[in-house]
A = this chain, B = another copy of it.
Amino acid sequence: MKAFQDYYPDELSHCFGCGRNNPHGHQLKSYWEGDRTVARFLPESHHTAIPGFVYGGLIASLIDCHGTGSAAAAMYRAEGRAMDSEPPLRCVTAAIHVDYLAPTRMGVELELRGEIGELSPRKAIISVEVFALDTLCARGRVVAVKMPEAMLPH
């Protein structure tokens, strides 16, 4: 099964959070599970905050990329077309909010669960919960907008 991010055009796949062409990045992968979107990520040892705990900035990054990926997937779905159909559609983040609910211990795979909220042809609001096993560690909200033409590579 291909991830949302696997459908991004090559020239738009350098994102530090989710670009498959960025060897220094997190390479997050997001998928549909029914009407919800899911991504899983095992933080590396250097993604630390206080020793033993995951860096909140990493969690924000994962929420960001899972949010924009989910937004794009939801827009494709709303348009009734496959993610490999033309023209390609990508979203960027207009705003992000994250509440950190519990310290996130290292060494556990994180699961991000996205819910599609408000959805229009150019904008989507995605709610994301981040779990470490059964612990809800963070709750985020991403306002994603369709990528402006000016940001396309020339």
Q: Find the residue from A47, A57, A61 having the highest chain B CB count within 10 A.
A: A57
Asked if A100 is an interface residue, CB under 8 A from chain B, the answer is yes
Once A96-B98, A103-B151 are accepted as A-B contacts, the answer to whether A46 and B60 lie under 8 Å apart by CB is no
Residues of B within 8 A of A92 (CB): 49-50, 56, 100, 103
Q: Is the CB of A57 within 8 A of B46?
A: no
Q: Is the CB of A50 within 8 A of B152?
A: yes
What's the nearest-Cβ distance from chain B to residue A130, in Å? 13
Instruction: Identify the 9 closest CB pairs spanning chains A and B, nearest first.
Output: A57-B61, A24-B46, A16-B55, A60-B60, A97-B97, A57-B64, A95-B99, A56-B93, A17-B57
Q: Which residues of A line the B interface, CB within 8 A?
A: 11-12, 14-17, 19, 22-25, 46-53, 55-58, 60-61, 64-65, 90, 92-100, 103, 147-148, 150-153
